[in-house]
Amino acid sequence: MLITTLIAAVISIAAGACIRAWAFAIFAFIVAIGFGGVVFVDGSSAAVAIGSGIAILALMEIGYLTGVFLSGLLRRNARRRESNSADGVSAASERQQS
């Protein structure tokens, strides 16, 4: 169960950087239904199975949002570095021409 949770979290974080929100929502919903079904088949009650499905869905959504945030932060920092280096090059070339 712990390994499944860790795998779901890692996949969700990676998906946050790669796929659209609607595609991930469909994927997460299907995974949560499957996870709840497996818990139910293992002999747990329906309430426990539903609770497990909702828990894994919440974990996956939090992981997705974390991935979106981290990828946006990395893109913003890369853009900032590019603009800073471009400003430094243009300023140096202007000084040489003067």
* C-alpha–C-alpha distance, residues 39 and 68, integer Å: 29
Question: What are the per-10-residue average pLDDT scores of the chain (98 residues)?
Answer: 83 86 90 91 92 93 91 89 71 57
Give the residue numbers spanning the domain of 89.
45-97
Same structural domain for residues 35 and 67? no
Q: What is the pTM of this model?
A: 0.74
Q: Clarify whether residues 69 and 29 are in a common domain.
A: no
Task: Based on the fold, state whether residues 68 and 38 are members of the same structural domain.
Answer: no
User: What was the pLDDT predicted at 96?
Assistant: 62
> Given this model, what pLDDT does residue 95 score?
58
Element (H, E) at 6: helix 2-18
Q: Provide the pLDDT for residue 52.
A: 92
pLDDT value at residue 20: 86
Do 10 and 49 fall within a single domain? no
64/28 same-domain check: no
Let me know whether 29 and 67 are in one domain: no
Residue 61 and residue 24: Cα distance in Å, rounded? 9
Q: Which of 20, 5, 16 is closest to 55 using CA atoms?
A: 5
Q: Please tell me the total count of domains within the chain.
A: 2
In this structure, the answer to whether residues 29 and 10 fall within a common structural domain is: yes
